[in-house]
Amino acid sequence: MAKDYPRSRRIAEQLRRELAEVIRDDVDDPRVGSVTISEVQVSRDLAHATVYVTVLGAEAAEAQAGVDVLNKAHGFLRSQVARRIRAKRTPSLRFLHDSAFDRGARLSALIDEVAPPPADEEPSKE
């Protein structure tokens, strides 16, 4: 496993916060929808960042369309973030769909099918 460097971690966390704001406030494309940035991984040399996003309430094809829009807008997003973080260099951005939430929801549904709640207990409305 690769070593985790504190500077890379700090830059990744700052990128995550700033990208979330920039996407929320400055990206007007309806294909993006409600995006959650689940993780940012920055290379040791701070030249590249991989941004994992989840498009809430979207099917796989819609989510991938939103990720494609973000990848096409990577230059704009990078320049907006560069103005905010004031670092010597801003990493190039690559967006990937994070399917962990989708898998979790699917597994939860499968568990509910196999082991329904007892008859005397009402199902939770969560």
Q: State the CATH number of the domain containing residue 33.
A: 3.30.300.20
Who wins on pLDDT, 10 or 99? 10
Q: What is the pLDDT of residues 44-89, one digit of tens each?
A: 888 999 999 988 777 778 888 889 999 999 999 999 999 998 778 8
Within-domain flag for 125:
no
Write out the residue range of the structural domain in which residue 107 sits.
Answer: 6-114
Which residues partner with 51 through β-bridges?
Answer: 40, 95
Interatomic CA distance for residues 35 and 41, integer angstroms: 17
Contact between 8 and 42 under an 8 Å Cβ cutoff? The reply is: yes
Q: What is the pLDDT of residues 91-110, one digit of tens each?
A: 999 999 887 777 777 777 77
In the chain, how many domains are there? Answer: 1
By mean pLDDT, which of 6-20, 29-43, 79-93, 95-109 is the weakest? 95-109
3-state SS class at 108 = helix
Who wins on pLDDT, 33 or 41? 41
- What number is the average pLDDT over the span 20-34? 86
Q: Where are the alpha helices (DSSP H) in the chain?
A: 6-26, 60-72, 74-85, 100-114
